[in-house]
Amino acid sequence: MTHPSAPHPPRPPSSPREPSLPAAPPAAEPSAPGLADSVRDLKPASPSEFLPSVRPWVRLAGGLLVGGFAAAVGLMALWPYRVIVRGPGTVRPSGGTSLVHAPREGRVRRINIRTNQPVQQGEVLAVLDPADLEARQQKLSQVRAALESQLQTQRQEDRAALQAAELEVGRAEATLRLARSEHQRYSQLVESGATSQEQLEEKAANLSIARSGYAKARQEVEQQRFRGESAQARLQQQLAEARAEQAQLSLDLGRTLVRAPVSGVVFSVALRNPQQVVAAGQELARIAPHDAEMQVKVRVASEDIARVEPGQRADLRLVGCPYPDFGTLRARVVSVAPDALPAAGAGAPGSASAEPDGLTSLAGPAGFEVTLRPDARELVTPSGRSCSLRQGMDLTADITTRQETVLRFLLRRTRLLVGW
């Protein structure tokens, strides 16, 4: 049986101020039992029914990215990283170079050496002009010959004068004996009354005169001997001074030959050309000994020196031994200077400059000098090529101050960048 549908209620009039909205459709009522069953059988919709499916290769790529990132983080957490301090350096002999000084002032006559020339101990490096010394020596030889001749003449004259004085003593002594004998004889005659007292007094006066003459003759001998000895002593003193000065000139002539104090290689030469005037004690050259152990002097900046300690490892990149071919040379920190070096003259990093005290420091900004000892004296490639360590070679040293993981290094750098 069908039921008549109820009449719809009247629609209220729309307000002129509000826009008209479409009327909601009336609730549909199932007109039959089969339509209600169909509605109940419908399933709710899911987002996957509206989005395209993810392809397998996209899933694989995502998994690889996530796995790679996790593996990278793990490697960074385990992989060691060396924290280094880098500085320029140069190769130096242990103990420094041997300085060659001018033995005396003078003018250079000849230069026999050049830089990097090997020399032996005692070899003549330079010759100073001995012309002034030779002139003085010739003049001194003439003075010495004149003094020797004068001394010989003085000795002969003194000997003759002394002999004459001694002859006078002999005559005075004979006169004295004669006067004493007559005085004794006249004394006996006076006692016997054979002669007068006046004659005895005359003989006594003669005896007194003879004694005075004898004493004067003896005094003259002593004075003559004293005068001769004084004159000879004065001449001998002058002759000794001349001989001493001549011996000193001979030493000075020997010191006109500047010789090498040790065997080695000429590191630097301060002589520029002949006829150069040098002062006594002036530096002429530097020699690096052959048997000296090699060491490396490195300049480390002041802000990094607190991390450098003896015993730390260092890797050296030698300028003369290309890194792609020879790699690096291992070394160890031996010592750290207690005081900073002053800023040297501008120049290439690692270049050497001479200090007033004869020491060698590295050019560059102010820093501390660190001494390294290399583990070997040459670098060898797998093909057999070798590059020997040479004095004066410039290099760059990487000193390992500590080891940490890559992740810790990145975190520390990040903290420094963000200021946390």
CATH code at position 242? 1.10.287
The pLDDT score that the predictor gives to residue 193 is 72
The pLDDT score that the predictor gives to residue 48 is 59
Q: Compute the C-alpha angle 359/363/367, nearest 5°.
A: 90
Beta strands in 76-168 (DSSP E): 80-93, 98-101, 106-111, 118-119, 124-128
- 139 and 246 share a domain? yes
- Report which of 235, 295, 258, 309 is spatially closest to residue 110, judged by C-alpha positions: 258
The pLDDT score that the predictor gives to residue 373 is 92
- The three-class DSSP label of residue 252 is helix
Domain around 393? 80-95+292-341+366-418
Give the number of domains in the chain. Answer: 3
- Asked whether residue 226 is domain-assigned, the answer is yes
pLDDT digit string (tens) for 96-106?
778 899 988 88
The pLDDT score that the predictor gives to residue 43 is 63
The pLDDT score that the predictor gives to residue 396 is 92
- 109 and 177 share a domain? no
**Predicted TM-score of the model (pTM):** 0.49
- 264 and 190 share a domain? no
What residues form DSSP beta bridges with 297? 90, 371
Burial call 60-74: b when 16+ CB within 10 Å, e when fewer: eeeeeeeeeeeeeee
- Asked whether residue 229 is domain-assigned, the answer is yes
> What would the DSSP string read from start to end of 83-109?
EEEEEEEEEEETT-PEEEE-SS-EEEE
- In angstroms, the CA 399 to CA 336 distance is 12
Q: Which helix (H) or strand (E) holds 346?
A: none
The pLDDT score that the predictor gives to residue 45 is 59
Query: What residue ranges of the chain have pLDDT lower than 70?
Result: 1-54, 76-79, 81, 343-365, 406-407, 409, 416, 419-420
The pLDDT score that the predictor gives to residue 374 is 93
Tokens in use for 304? 């990094």
- In angstroms, the CA 352 to CA 97 distance is 13
- 112 and 250 share a domain? no
- 89 and 179 share a domain? no
- Asked whether residue 91 is domain-assigned, the answer is yes
The pLDDT score that the predictor gives to residue 299 is 93
- Asked whether residue 54 is domain-assigned, the answer is no
Q: Which residue in this structure is represented by tokens 């104090």?
A: 261
- 149 and 121 share a domain? no
- 136 and 248 share a domain? yes
- Report which of 157, 146, 137, 112 is spatially closest to residue 285, judged by C-alpha positions: 112
- Reading phi first (left if > 0) and then psi (alpha if -120 to 50, else beta), residue 402 is in beta
The pLDDT score that the predictor gives to residue 229 is 85
- 336 and 387 share a domain? yes
